Amino acid sequence: MNPRQLPIPSQLEVNKEKLTDTYGEFVYSPLPRGWAWTIGTMLRRILMSSIEGCAPTEMRIDGVQHEFSTIDGVLEDVPTIVMYVKKLRFRMNTRNTTEMLYLHGRGKKQLFGKDISLPPGIELMNPDQLILTITDDVTNINMEIKIEKGRGWESQEMVKHRNPHAIVGTITLDAFYSPVRRVDFEVDNVRFEEFTDFEKLILKITTDGTIKPEEAIVEAAKLGKLYLSPIIEREEKSNGNIDSLRLLGVSEGVDLSIEEIKIPETVRKILRARGKTYVRDIIVHTEDEILSWGVKPRSLKSLKNALEKRGLKLGINVGIEEGNNEA
């Protein structure tokens, strides 16, 4: 291998002996030195904060006015019941972002997650989760639980802010949407051909069962690609501008960097802030557009003079919309 070339891992290796519905270990290699830490940190952040999941966000119990209450004939106080409800883990296989669930019970018994009435498309992953205990034969419990799709974590105050007109007796919950419970990663040295200074990334992912670890890591990679793709698309669009300019007979000087033309430093800073790093990025804009960025008329004149010396001008229409690329 040419030492100047970067090796690209061909696939993600899965430790099939340890793979379950809630735990997985994955190896990604070979990677240049430092890349394993970079990729591992990025994937861990995305996995912990940005994978879509589902969580209870609100609940109501007949006869209960607020969360700091007790219920006659029920062993647990309301804060304990709230804690148990927040532990319920649901999978929503529907297009809806919100669903209402209902729990009813009468007489001396324990009520578990499996006693909740679930609409079609909703699965409960931990049906043995205790919710409350009725201690006599006459107490009647009616509970509503609202579940929602989301990402990461949302505080009780944030949930309440989204629904300021909730009816009296509604208890808002801290929402733990993320289906990923834990992510650890290690970086080890690995040999690649005759080189010994490459790295391998070992990712260890634990989920709540609503998503499999291998599905979670693929989703994380897709999100990373989604956020990086505008950078690639911008370069592709810029290359499209070059082709269009050349078709118009405008080619000389368009590949120059803004550092290579004689313009005021204040103009250079404004252009950099707008992501305009080459002459080709500038000449597709009109004078009014550049003035709207904060360039002063005198500085604009200096910019026009620098372009005119190379036979170029502002406002060249190449048939490509540039406005959407502005920062």
Give the angle subtended at the CA of 204 by the CAs of 202 and 205, to the nearest 5°.
140
Amino acid letter, 52 = E
CA distances 139 to 72, 73, 117, 135, 144, Å, are 8, 6, 19, 8, 17
The β-bridge partners of 52 are 151
Does some domain include residue 161?
Answer: no
Give domain status of residue 3, yes or no.
no
Q: Is residue 278 part of a domain?
A: yes
Same domain, residue pair 135 and 82: yes
Q: 82 and 47 in one domain? A: no
Residues 28 and 69 in one domain: no
Query: Does residue 236 lie within any of the structural domains?
Result: no
Within a domain: residue 174? no
CA–CA separation, 252 vs 310, rounded Å?
A: 7
Let me know if residue 167 belongs to a domain.
Answer: no
Q: Quick check: 205 and 219 in contact, CB under 8 A?
A: no
pTM over 0.85: no
Could you say which of 230, 257, 292 is where a domain stops?
Answer: 230
Total number of domains in the chain: 3
Token pair of 37 as six digits: 């830490």
How would you write the pLDDT of the chain (327 residues) with one tens digit per residue?
Answer: 555 567 788 789 999 999 999 999 999 999 988 999 999 999 999 999 999 999 999 999 999 988 899 999 999 999 999 999 999 999 999 888 999 999 999 999 999 999 999 999 999 999 999 999 999 999 999 999 999 999 999 999 999 998 888 888 999 999 999 999 999 999 998 887 777 788 999 999 999 999 999 999 999 999 998 888 877 766 555 555 555 545 444 455 667 788 888 889 898 889 888 888 888 788 888 888 899 998 999 999 999 888 888 778 887 654 444 444 443
Tally the residues of the chain: 327
180 CA to centre of own chain: 13
The domain in which residue 223 lies consists of 13-51+180-230
Q: Do residues 75 and 144 both lie within one domain?
A: yes
Same domain, 125 and 72: yes
- Is 308 contained in some domain? yes
